[in-house]
A = this chain, B = another copy of it.
Amino acid sequence: MKSGKKLNMLVGALLAGVIIAALTAATPSRSQEAADDPLPSWHNGPTKQAILGFVRQVTDKSGPQYVKPAERIAAFDDGGTLWTEWPIHVNHIQVVFARQRIKEMTQKHEDWKYRQPFKAILENDDKELAIRLKNLWNVMDLLRETHGGMTVDEFSATVRAFLATAKHPKYKVPYTQVAYVPMLELLALLRANEFKIFIVTGSGTDFIRELSEEVYGIPRENVIGSGPEYEYKETPKGGYLARKLNIDTFNLRTAKAENIQLHIGRRPILVAGNTDGDLAMMGLAAGGKNPFLNLLLRHDDAEREFAYEDETEKAIEAARSRAWTIISMKNDFKVVFAFQKKK
């Protein structure tokens, strides 16, 4: 117990240092321009104007589009929307975590040498792993072995220990630094305008909670994701929660809209996503009585990030036909990551 506490403190201190460095780096300049412009890392153009115009309208008490602060709900997808996740089987933070855990635990699991997807992980066979992870049963096996069978507190400590040293495989920087700078600016703009911001992600709720406050300024309780059932257990000193081995919620597609009702109970008025998986959230915003802004981030920047269109066909079609706002990483972002130079 005591060593656990020490570890937690150490990890906390390390993480805090990393984050302060990231945030400092994320502020490109302290010039007057930045002070006047809440979105200095966005190129001027229709996307930036759409965002600024929307925020101005819904906060203008005398205007016809005014929305009360309590109803200013913003729902952000996480991977691919707030930070980089591509390609999933190599760079997605939970896959990196799972791969590391499998390697750490392999001595006690002789069978993994012969079982997929563990075999592909142990052999560093990325191509094979990509294929194997298209099968949901393999994903569930991987999650069960690496995320399950422990208490909520143990899982939290394990993730924090990982975050303290983990680096992004491509960019070689801590994961706390792979958030998109323009999106961090957008979060700050919304916060300054009394929006309540939620992360609505297919990733694990408890995993993302370990970094949401530090990386995004979004409190743990505002993370809505995938996860197992929990089981409350008593001890003479008090109770604790265990993570069961099932996946109770896969927070994907329509489940994202349904879990917004479960956790928030209001329609969002701003939704940001990057795939077909975010369409239900956007539909929910569009179906309400309030004005809304749906933002679809397109990964079209092979130079600074990646160019890919997997599972975005429906989202692009919907955004175009319904005049939702498409963000082009290539054309709208002056800066993608804090560690890169301005374009």
Determine if A38 is an interface residue (Cβ-Cβ < 8 Å).
no
Q: Answer yes or no: A231 CB below 8 A from chain B CBs.
A: yes
Q: Which residues of B contact A238 (CB under 8 A)?
A: 283-288
- Assess whether A265 is in contact with B232, with CB atoms less than 8 Å apart: no
Q: How many identical subunits does the complex contain?
A: 2
Among candidates B5, B196, B227, B235, residue contacting A287 with C-beta atoms closer than 8 Å: B235
Supposing A213-B70, A220-B264, A265-B205 touch, asked if A258 and B232 sit within 8 A by C-beta, the answer is yes
Task: Tell whether A108 is near chain B: CB-to-CB under 8 Å.
Answer: no
Interface string of A131-156 (1 = CB under 8 A from B): 00000000000000000000010000
Kindly state the separation between the CA atoms of A30 and B106 in the bound complex, as whole angstroms. Answer: 68
**Chain B neighbourhood of A339, CB < 8 A:** none
Evaluate whether A263 and B263 lie within 8 angstroms (CB atoms) in the complex, with A219-B70, A258-B229, A284-B241 already known. yes
Given A232-B258, A263-B263, answer yes or no on A5-B289 (Cβ-Cβ < 8 Å).
Answer: yes
Q: In this complex, what residue of B is CB-closest to A256?
A: B232
A residues 274-300 touching B (CB-CB < 8 Å)? 280, 283-289
Q: Is the CB of B227 within 8 A of A262?
A: yes
Closest-by-CB residue of B relative to A213 is B70
Contact of A241 among B209, B213, B230, B257 (CB under 8 A): B257
A206-B265, A221-B266, A289-B5 given; A239·B70 CB < 8 A: no
Contacts of A264 in B (CB 8 A): 220-221
**In the assembled complex, A237 has its CB within 8 A of some CB on chain B:** yes
The interface residues of chain B lying within 8 Å CB-to-CB of A158 are none
Identify which of B221, B240, B254, B284 contacts A265 (C-beta below 8 A).
Answer: B221
Distance A209 CA – B283 CA, assembled complex (angstroms)? 23
Instruction: Say whether A49 faces chain B, with CB atoms less than 8 Å apart.
Output: no
Contact of B263 with A232 in the complex, beta carbons under 8 Å:
no
The residue of chain B having its C-beta at the shortest distance from the C-beta of A220 within the complex is B265
- How distant is A125 from chain B, measured CB to nearest CB, in Å? 35
Determine the distance from Cα of A5 to Cα of B289 in the docked complex, in whole angstroms: 9
CA distance A206 to B261 in the complex (A): 9
Specify which of B229, B231, B284 is in contact with A232 (CB 8 Å cutoff).
Answer: B284
> What is the distance, in angstroms, from A18's C-beta to the closest C-beta of chain B?
19
A221 touches which of B263, B283, B288 (Cβ 8 Å): B263
Cα-based distance from A214 to B19 in the complex (angstroms): 38
Chain A 205-239 residues near chain B, CB threshold 8 A: 205-206, 209, 213, 219-221, 223, 227, 229-232, 234-235, 237-239
Task: List the 10 shortest-distance A-B pairs measured between CB atoms, nearest first.
Answer: A238-B287, A239-B283, A238-B286, A232-B254, A232-B257, A230-B258, A220-B265, A221-B264, A230-B261, A239-B287
